[in-house]
Each structure stands twice: as C-alpha cells, then as structure tokens.
Structure 1
Amino acid sequence: MSKIAQRSYPADIATQLAGTGIPPLLARIYAARGIGEAAQLDTDIKRLLPFTLLKNAETMAELLANAIAAQKKILIVADYDADGATACAVAMRGLGALGARVDFIVPNRFEYGYGLTPEIVRLAKRSEPDILLTVDNGIASVDGVAEAARLGMQVLVTDHHLPGDTLPNAWCIVNPNQPGCAFPSKHLAGVGVMFYVLMALRAEMRKRGMFAGKTEPNLGTLLDLVALGTVADVVRLDDNNRILVQQGLQRIRAGRSCAGIQALLRVARRPAMQASAYELGFIVGPRLNAAGRLEDMSLGIRCLLTDDTAEAGEIAAKLDALNQERRSIEADMQDSALATLDSFDPADGYSLSLFNEEWHQGVIGILASRLKDKFHRPVIAFARAQTGELKGSGRSIAGLHLRDALDLVSKRHPHLILKFGGHAMAAGLSIHEDSLHDFRSAFEAVARELLDAEALVKTIATDGTLDAMEFSLSIARDLQRQVWGQGFPEPLFEGDFRVQAQRVVGEKHLKLKLSSPAGSFDAIRFFSAEPAPDTIHAVYSLSINEYNGSETLQLIVRHWTGD
C-alpha cells in the first residue's frame, strides 16, 4: 500500500530564493530539499570543501609524498563495487600522475569476501609492496591490518563506511566518519575520499617543490570517475557531492571523460552530451558493477584505466554482456523469491530475511533492493558462499538504520553474526547456515522495535501540482540541468487527468495521451503495460522527448490511482 503526500517547504525561504531570480517553482523545490540560499546551488569547483578539514588527509599526504620520493611500491586494495572500482581508478591514475610506483589488487568477492582480510593481505604480499592503500574499505579491517604489520607492510586506509567499536591499527586513516573528524560532509563516497587525499598530496608535493620544472597534474581530469562512483554508491547528494557530480558530468558531456566511461555509454546507446546522474546510476554503474557481481572487478577497473578507445570498447562490450546475464539471473531469483512470498501478507512482519540455495551471491543485493521496493520492508537476502557460510545483503527503508540494526542484533546475540558492515540503507553480513532461523527472529524483533506502523506505509512524496504555465520545456530543461539523487530527490508532481488514448510500446511500456484543465500531454509509464482507467490521479516527472530533431514535453508517470 502506498500513500501520496506533498513535501512541505519553508515559504519564506522559497520567497527568498525566488527573489534571487530563481523561478518560483524551482525555488519551492529547492526549499523543500533544504536549500537555504542560492549559493548552495553554485557547483563551481572552487566551492568544494577544503581538504584541510578532512582529518588525517594532510598526514596521509606527507606519508605518500615520502613514499613517492623514496620510490616505494604502493599496492591499492580495492572493493568490488562501482565505488571501489572508481576509487581504485582515481588512485591509480592520480598517484601515477604524481610519480608513484603503484599497482592494484581487488578481492574476488567469492573467494576472499569484502575488505582487507588477512587472506587478501597474504595474497598482496606476493607483489612485495611496501605500502597497502585501501580504497572504499579498511575501516573495519582490524585483523587484516594486523596481518599486514606482521608481514612488514604499512597500511593506509581511505574509506567512508561507518567504523566499528575498534579502529584498525593502521599507519593512517582518512574517513569522514571516523571519530574526531570534523569534515562537514559525512557523505563522501569512497572515491570522493580518495580524490581528497590526492588534492592534499598534490598540495604537499607543491610545498616541497617536487614539481620544479614540471607541469602539475590536473586532478580535475579525474572528476568523471568521482561523479560515477558517487552516484553509483547512492550516497547523499549534499552540497559538496553535488559539486563533484556536476563537475564530472560537465566533463562527460563535453566528451572529455575517460575512454571507459565513453565506451560504457556507447554500448548502452546513450549520448555522452546528454549524460545525467541517471545515466551514471542506472546505465554505466550497473554495467561496471556486473563485473564484480558475476566475475572479477579487475575487468571493470581495467575499463576505467585504459586510454585505448578500442580496448575500452572491447571491455565495455564484455561488461554489457555480463550485465545482461546479471539481469537474467536477477529475474529468476526474483521469481523464486516472489513465489516463496506468494502468500505473504506484509502486515505479518516488519522485515524479510530470505535464503535460497540456488541464489547467486553476487546478485542478492539487487534482489534485496527489488523486494524492499515491492514490500516496503527492510530486506536481507542470503546466498550460500564458497566457505559454506551464508552471505547476506540488506536494503532498508527510512526509519531503520540497517548497519545500526545489525549492530544491535550482534550485541544481543554475540555469536549470531560472524561479521557485518555498511550504511543506513545498505549493509552486508555473514552468518552460519544453521543460524538463519535465529537471525530471522532476532532481526524481526529489532525491526519491530525501531519501526512503527506508519513507517511501513510507503509514501510517495511529490512537489505538488503544476500550473498550466509550468508545463513547459523551459521548466523541464531547468530541472534536467540539476543533479538529482539520494537525499536530493528528483521532483515529482501530481495531478488529475483524463486518459484520452493509451497503447503498449516496446512490449512493456504504456504510451498515454493525458488531458487536464492545463492542457493535453504526451506521457509514458515505463516497465508497466497495465492499462490505465479513464481518469487517474498521477504522480509524474517532467521530461523532454527528442524525436527527429524536435523536442516536446513528455510526462513520465511513476504512479497512479484511479477507478
């Protein structure tokens, strides 16, 4: 069950924003998203928060500058998702441009699991590095860091995940969420943290005169990768992250992104000049993630590192094929999950914990997300790992911080969860297979404690209705230029319409002709061929439909109620 509710906004702030020349509709939209002054919408790179505010960034810069001067070997230990892959590519490209001897290793999720484990440390040792540099992981790797020290390697940790009760005894840690870090943006993705470390390193090398007689590397060339990882990891798009994403998108639209991103857009038939956060999150990101989900993320990282257009195209084609395979696997898993839940009444529980011995470990996170969307419950999907344990991937709803909920389960039942980590909305964990029943009960108890009945009703938030003059291409263009995403949601509107015509296109999309007192509009509802009633109350977004060189306004219908 869903309900539609209009977002509230401070009218005085909206009026103040409109007074700066922002169209009244956009002023209302921005005010509802916490924008208090027009300066917050300025995405000039000069408005980025300074790296000096990020705890230990300057210390790590000094250590890296010393390592570069001594030509010590640095081995990057990456994560196997899009954030980890882009963070690795940023580190490889950035450190390489700054003169470091650098290489990377990325754990295969099926063999080594997540993070800097003792096993991956011993594998890394074969390359005989002096320094291990983690990207998008490491904050929970207490045992891995200890193993690295035992084997004579220093560890530098760059991460953004929430720390546990004990920090690893690393050489240096940069993480906006570690204790004592006053960095105003706690929502940097792993790739953003690595980018900040590079900015600090370049400043340190400049101070030491290490660029004498040379041209300083332009770290701005890495912003396409930073934008991709930030959007794909679904971190909150606060002011600082929107600057990073907008700057990266400008490079992509101008044809100045890396060969890999260009190739991934081409294989998906998406023009780079029209790229938006949607393309990064739903087109490029999933193709990159497919490597880590089904095979080995080193393939995705190679795609982001090559400067050879032909090689990038070949790798992008492989990633596209893997993504198609992932979709097929996901569809089968979703069918089996829904069959299991065929008689499930959402009112019976506050959470879902599911396991099927045939499910693919690399796809359970997507499955959990789909089921969360369908049932509006926190969901954890489990698959059997090669170790014999069950690996779980969870997705949550507003009102339940998933990582904290797992922490509560772990404290109350100390031997139930073998390990866990993550964020408010997504987390991973491992349990013994014979613990599934007990875990399901314990997690349900915590969910009932942290959620109320109101939180279990899915709310579709809108920005209200539109006046006749607001159904315009200019408004649609204004909205299209902005960066929307997690924590800064794309505007949705609502209104009553008569359905004048409807037909199914592409076998699974519903093309509509809608009318209201404001006019007659073309509309489409993607991935739903369900016929609409004669009159509907629709939730929709504004878009621009381009056909044969002409542009027309189109409504994208997201939800409707009707007779």
Structure 2
Amino acid sequence: MADGTTPMGYLGVTRSLTGRLWRERPADGETVRRHQLGLGLSEPLARALASRGIGPDDGANYLNPTLKALFPDPSSFLDMDLAAEILIDALVSDRPMTIFADYDVDGASSAAQLVRWFRTLGKELPIYVPDRMTEGYGPSPAAFKRIRESGAELVVTVDCGAAAYEALAHAEEIGLDVVVIDHHLMRDEIPKVAALVNPNRPGCTSGQGVLAAAGVAFVLLAALNREARKRGLFETTPEPDLRQWLDLAALGAICDVTQLVGFNRALTTQGLKVMSAWKNPGLKALLEVAKGSGPAGVFHAGFILGPRINAGGRIGRSDLGARLLSTDDPAEAAELAAELDALNASRKEVEREIFEEAIRIVDRESNQDDAALTFVAADGWHPGVIGIVASRLRERYRKPALVIGVDRAANIGKGSGRSQTGVNLGRAVQAAFDEGLLLAGGGHAMAAGLSVRPDTIPDLRAFLNERLAAETETATAEDGLDIDALVTTGGADRGLWQAFQALAPFGPGNPEPMFAVADVRIERPMALRGGHVRVTLTDGSGGRLKAVAWRAEDTEIGKRLMSEGGAVHVAGRLKPDDWQGRESVELEIEDVADPRRMVG
C-alpha cells in the first residue's frame, strides 16, 4: 500500500492479543528525505517526524519550539484586550476580586498564575473552588451569591464558566461582574458577561483551540503586562517576568491531555525546563513527598504531580491544589503536599476497589461482549474516581466506557465516560439528555459526564448502545497500533531512546514513539505486585531487553508472557532505566502478537 502498510499488517500482524492490526505509521518519503538532509536526522527519526505531520519547512521549529517563534498575539483572542483592561482597572482601583477555579490541575494551575501575577503587583486574590460532591462542576447561582456576599464585585472564572448560563445570568442580577477564562467547547449563544476569553468560543480566530485553560491564562498574563505597561504601572514596580510561571502553564497542558502542537508544544517544552528548576514551592514539596527527582518531564507532570493535585478535588478538599500552587511559604507547601499525597493514596485504593468490582460486573454480564460501550453502574461508587475507572475500562476492553456511581439516598447517579477515536461520546450523551433520559449531561468526543435517575439507567444503557453501535463497529474495525520503527533487542539501547527524545514532549498530537521487536523469546517471566508482568526479551541479535507489561497479569498479554512458549512479536515504548546508575532502557509493553494465533 502507498502508506507502507501491507494488507497483512506490519510484521504480518492482523490481530494481536488485544485484537489490533499493526501498521507502520505512514510518512511521505520525500518529506523523510528532506528531514534527513536538512536536519541531519537518521532515517527512523526523520520518518517519525514526518509521520507526525511535520512538513519539511517546519522541522526545526518542531524540534526546538520557542515562545519567540510561536507566541500568539493576545489580541487575536476575542475579548482578551477587554479582559486585560477590566482586570487592570480593578487592580488600579483596588476593586474586590475573586478567582473561581475548577477543581482539577488545569483549574488550579490557571488560578495560581493569576494569583501570582497580581501578587507581584501588590494585590492578593482569594480563590474559590467548588466542592465536587456538594456543588458539582463549575459556577452555580449559589456559589456566585456566596462570593458576592463576601464583598467581591468581580469574579474571574478559570477553566470553567463558558457554559454556565444560569449562574452567569444570576451574577448579572446580583451585580457581580464576571470575566470568563476558559477553553471548553460552548454553544453559539454567548452569555452576557464582562468579558469571555475562550479560543473555542464561536468567532474566535486565534487558532489556539488546543490550549488548556492554563495556556489561555498564560496568554492573559502577557495581555496584562502589555496593558499595565501602557498605563505606566511598571515605572515604579518591576515588570513581572512571565517565564517564571511557565511551569504552571505546562502542568495544565499536560494534565488536561491537550494536543501538544504549535504554540502549546512550545509552552509545554519551555515550561518543563522551568519546572526542572523546582522553584515553585508547591511543586517542589509535592515532588519531595512523592520521592521523585530529576529534570521535569511529561511523566513528572502527568503521573507524579498531577494525580496528587487532583486528589484534593476528587476525594478531599477541593481548594488544596490551587493553594499548593499559589503559596510562597515552604512550610505551608510541605503541609499541603503531605495532605495531597495521603489523599492520593486513598484515591488509588478507592479506584482499585471500584475498578476490580467493575471488571467483575462486566465479565459476568454476557451482553457486554457485543455492546457498543462498556456500561457499568453500582451503588456507592465515589463520583470523584469514576472517570479514572472509565479510562481503565476503555483500555482493557478497547471500546468506549461509561461508569455510573449511584447514590440511593439522593436518588441520583453520577456518570463519567471515556471514548476512543471515531466514537463521539459527548454527542451521544447530549442526545440522551435531549431525549429526557438525563438530568444533566455533556462533554466532548472523547469524554462526557452525566447525572441520571437510577430507574432510568437501563433505558440509558439501551439508548447509548443503539446510538453508538455504528460508530463503535467502525472504530473497532479500524483499531490499530501504529509502529514507528522495527528494532532488535540489541539495538533498543540508551542511544536509540536518547535520539528519539528530540521529538519530546510526547502527548496527544505527538504520540510517544512505538517500537516493535520481532520473533523474540520470553525469558524469566515474573508476576509483580499490582498485577504487572516483567520479562526479558531475546532475539537473534544477541541482545537482551528488559520489558514490563503494566497491570497485565490477568489479560491475554500477561498470560502469554507468563507462559513463555514460542517466539512472539512485541510492541512498546522505550523508557530510561537508571536504577543504581545503570543508564539503560526497558520496554513498556503495549501489545503482543503471537504468530501462531493470528487470524484475519
């Protein structure tokens, strides 16, 4: 085929142990050649760059993304200049303001940026974060009423607010001005507010729709600096150096799983460099309590820091994350970090229990096998973790998943869903709401949330299965694993890993390189605590490659690895292995194909 994929699949893999077709990630040959010549790259690295849609003239900026080259004009965002004027007016007149933030990492990092900017100008802003259990997501009339009664005249919502029509209407009624800083999709109707900055609002031509709220907030800081400079505020006060807060912008971008392309890629790349100095007291304290170390990367932000910051909003006090990222007091940071670390440990235990119960329910309900989505509901499941459980169920069963926790006393079920490419779950949930099956519901293609009466859950399941049947069938048929390069166990070394780090940071829009090793033998399989499986892979090159399959012991992959047996093909991502200073690598296994079991 023209894209390099044979009809039989890469390495002949038409159906792996996870049911996937393997494909070589397609790349234009001429672009590959020009990347090799122009950038001095090896063929595999040049191919990986081209396969990510990077044209021959864009390679240099992609490999070295800078804010100077990619920073957008703040004025290209609708209402950005207006928002800056309103906030500087409030600063100059000492008008009472409050930051209203979502309870996740993106909300906390957005709020912390604004708090820190105003602090350098001598104004301390309070932060209001709604409680997930009692207040739900986003602004509400009751929350705005409390803020107004506290004396605030202006509220700035971050990572929420663009679709809070009822709350915003109430704010107008009670004389509370609102500036919205958001990034979520919204309807054509623009709520009546003082200013609404959102690259995804209808009519905004900034072209920055992939930004998290933390990225939008960082651009707002640039607009604030420009407006304050114009008014002469920096004649007696030093102008804030915005680069010091790039770590917060990067944290929001990574933890909100945004597309790491264009300006957002530059923001994240440079932000991780700033984060690596660990000058933010909260991030430093959180790293220390988590026993992390080293220069910051996507792993630090997404898997060490992010889950702990989120734990406050999931099962603890919702404002802990924003307070941690905003404080300059090392003692307070240490105290908050310890509390978040303990909450995260509790969160993991709650998540594990719900996940295991969900698997038992799914596996005993025979109608799940042919269903368009994995749909599971039970009494008492904590609404703060069902989204994570839905993500893990989606990975396990390789189709959209919806998890509902039912509160019988309140007669309500709270649900969270995660989808896959080609299946628009948010649209289906909106359709269920339009049909009168939900109390509330919405989202986007890959994720959705909802509220439902328990007695309506069977009807909701039937509706969603019918609604998503065609999309899921097509997506399942096209479900494949894209391979960047074929390597040997001897060639999969630290040098190869280091070379491909030129493409980092990895995330949506820039997938982490996927390597395949063919006809490898499995040696020394070992089941680890937590259901992980560790093995050593060998092939004809004479090399030995350590590999691990996370949470795989009870899956087809885990069972095949533990049985050793004949040669298999393995695909995965290379990770550094610095245990005891060895500077080696290991393969994180994504998929396994057994040539003896493959069928068309």
Q: TM-score range by the shorter chain?
A: over 0.9
1:41/1:239 contact within 8 Å kept? no
Q: Does 1:78 align with 2:110?
A: no
Q: How far did residue 280 of structure 1 move?
A: 0.9
Hey, what does 2:262 align to over in structure 1?
239
Q: Does 1:369 align with 2:391?
A: yes
Task: Output the amino acid matched with 1:417.
Answer: L
1:303/1:315 contact within 8 Å kept? yes
Choose from 87, 96, 105 the match for 2:110: 87
Choose from 42, 51, 55 the match for 2:78: 55
Secondary structure of the residue that 1:91 maps to in structure 2?
helix
Cα pair distance change 1:496/1:97, threshold 3 Å: same
1:83/1:191 contact within 8 Å kept? yes
Q: Does 1:515 align with 2:533?
A: no
Q: How far did residue 227 of structure 1 move?
A: 0.9
Cα distance per residue 1:19-57 (max 9 Å; x no partner)? 222332221111111111212332222122222222211
Hey, what does 1:446 align to over in structure 2?
467
1:521/1:555 contact within 8 Å kept? no
2:515/2:571 contact within 8 Å kept? yes
Unaligned runs of 5+ residues in structure 1 are none
Q: How far did residue 118 of structure 1 move?
A: 1.0
Deviates more, 1:142-151 or 1:526-535: 526-535
Q: CA separation in 1, counterparts of 2:301 and 2:462?
A: 38
What percentage of residue pairs aligned between the two structures are identical? 33
Secondary structure of the residue that 1:205 maps to in structure 2?
helix
Cα distance per residue 1:188-227 (max 9 Å; x no partner)? 1011111111111111111111111221011111111111
Spell out the pairing of 1:29-44 with structure 2 (5 A cutoff). Answer: 29-36=48-55, 37-38=58-59, 39-44=61-66
Q: Does 1:557 align with 2:579?
A: no
Secondary structure of the residue that 1:348 maps to in structure 2?
coil
Cα pair distance change 1:191/1:172, threshold 3 Å: same
Q: How far did residue 9 of structure 1 move?
A: 1.3
1:399/1:455 contact within 8 Å kept? no
Hey, what does 2:29 align to over in structure 1?
11
Task: Output the amino acid matched with 1:155.
Answer: V
Choose from 125, 128, 133 the match for 2:151: 128
2:44/2:485 contact within 8 Å kept? no
1:235/1:486 contact within 8 Å kept? yes
Secondary structure of the residue that 1:2 maps to in structure 2?
coil
1:376/1:457 contact within 8 Å kept? no
Q: CA separation in 2, counterparts of 1:17 and 1:470?
A: 22
Spell out the pairing of 1:386-465 with structure 2 (5 A cutoff). Answer: 387-411=410-434, 413=435, 415-455=436-476, 458-465=479-486
Secondary structure of the residue that 2:132 maps to in structure 1?
coil
Hey, what does 2:515 align to over in structure 1?
493
Cα pair distance change 1:368/1:219, threshold 3 Å: same
Spell out the pairing of 1:169-188 with structure 2 (5 A cutoff). Answer: 169-188=192-211
TM-score by length of 1: 0.94
Task: Output the amino acid matched with 1:407.
Answer: Q
Instruction: Kindly report the root-mean-square deviation, in angstroms, between the aligned alpha carbons of the 2 structures.
Output: 2.1
Secondary structure of the residue that 1:533 maps to in structure 2?
coil
2:528/2:534 contact within 8 Å kept? no
1:463/1:493 contact within 8 Å kept? yes
Secondary structure of the residue that 1:143 maps to in structure 2?
helix
1:136/1:158 contact within 8 Å kept? yes
Spell out the pairing of 1:245-394 with structure 2 (5 A cutoff). Answer: 245-256=268-279, 258-273=280-295, 275-343=296-364, 344=366, 346-384=368-406, 387-394=410-417
Deviates more, 1:335-344 or 1:60-69: 335-344
2:427/2:442 contact within 8 Å kept? no
Cα distance per residue 1:338-385 (max 9 Å; x no partner)? 111123365421123322112111111111111111112222211235
Q: Does 1:152 align with 2:175?
A: yes
Choose from 222, 225, 248 the match for 1:199: 222
Cα distance per residue 1:85-112 (max 9 Å; x no partner)? 1111112112322444521100001111
Q: How far did residue 462 of structure 1 move?
A: 1.5
Q: How far did residue 387 of structure 1 move?
A: 4.9
Cα distance per residue 1:404-428 (max 9 Å; x no partner)? 22223333x1x32232333321121
2:362/2:368 contact within 8 Å kept? no
1:521/1:554 contact within 8 Å kept? no
Secondary structure of the residue that 1:488 maps to in structure 2?
coil
Q: How far did residue 167 of structure 1 move?
A: 2.7
Q: How far did residue 321 of structure 1 move?
A: 1.3
Task: Output the amino acid matched with 1:204.
Answer: E
Secondary structure of the residue that 1:335 maps to in structure 2?
helix
Task: Output the amino acid matched with 1:224.
Answer: D
Cα pair distance change 1:405/1:161, threshold 3 Å: same
Hey, what does 2:11 align to over in structure 1?
none
1:187/1:236 contact within 8 Å kept? yes
Hey, what does 2:244 align to over in structure 1?
221
2:522/2:565 contact within 8 Å kept? no
Task: Output the amino acid matched with 1:297.
Answer: S
Q: CA separation in 2, counterparts of 1:186 and 1:524?
A: 37
Task: Output the amino acid matched with 1:465.
Answer: L
Q: CA separation in 1, counterparts of 2:100 and 2:226?
A: 24
Task: Output the amino acid matched with 2:327.
Answer: T
Task: Output the amino acid matched with 1:261.
Answer: L
Unaligned runs of 5+ residues in structure 2 are 1-17
Secondary structure of the residue that 2:109 maps to in structure 1?
helix
Hey, what does 1:541 align to over in structure 2?
573
Q: Does 1:138 align with 2:161?
A: yes
Cα pair distance change 1:469/1:237, threshold 3 Å: same
Q: CA separation in 2, counterparts of 1:124 and 1:384?
A: 31
Cα pair distance change 1:122/1:449, threshold 3 Å: farther
Q: CA separation in 1, counterparts of 2:312 and 2:281?
A: 17
Cα pair distance change 1:323/1:124, threshold 3 Å: same
Cα pair distance change 1:533/1:46, threshold 3 Å: farther
Q: CA separation in 2, counterparts of 1:222 and 1:407?
A: 37
Q: How far did residue 181 of structure 1 move?
A: 0.6
Cα pair distance change 1:97/1:404, threshold 3 Å: farther
Task: Output the amino acid matched with 2:442.
Answer: G
1:498/1:536 contact within 8 Å kept? yes
Hey, what does 1:28 align to over in structure 2?
47
1:499/1:512 contact within 8 Å kept? no
1:346/1:375 contact within 8 Å kept? no
Q: Does 1:2 align with 2:19?
A: yes
1:88/1:135 contact within 8 Å kept? yes
Deviates more, 1:533-542 or 1:214-223: 533-542
Secondary structure of the residue that 2:210 maps to in structure 1?
coil
Q: CA separation in 2, counterparts of 1:456 and 1:197?
A: 43
Q: How far did residue 137 of structure 1 move?
A: 0.3
Cα distance per residue 1:156-211 (max 9 Å; x no partner)? 11111100253321111000110001122211101111111111111111111111
Q: How far did residue 113 of structure 1 move?
A: 0.6
Secondary structure of the residue that 2:170 maps to in structure 1?
helix
Hey, what does 2:14 align to over in structure 1?
none
Q: CA separation in 2, counterparts of 1:434 and 1:129?
A: 42
Task: Output the amino acid matched with 2:27.
Answer: Y
Cα pair distance change 1:451/1:499, threshold 3 Å: closer
Q: CA separation in 2, counterparts of 1:346 and 1:491?
A: 33
Cα pair distance change 1:454/1:84, threshold 3 Å: closer
1:521/1:553 contact within 8 Å kept? no
Task: Output the amino acid matched with 1:249.
Answer: L
Q: CA separation in 2, counterparts of 1:345 and 1:519?
A: 47
1:417/1:429 contact within 8 Å kept? yes
TM-score by length of 2: 0.88
1:420/1:429 contact within 8 Å kept? yes
Deviates more, 1:388-397 or 1:305-314: 305-314
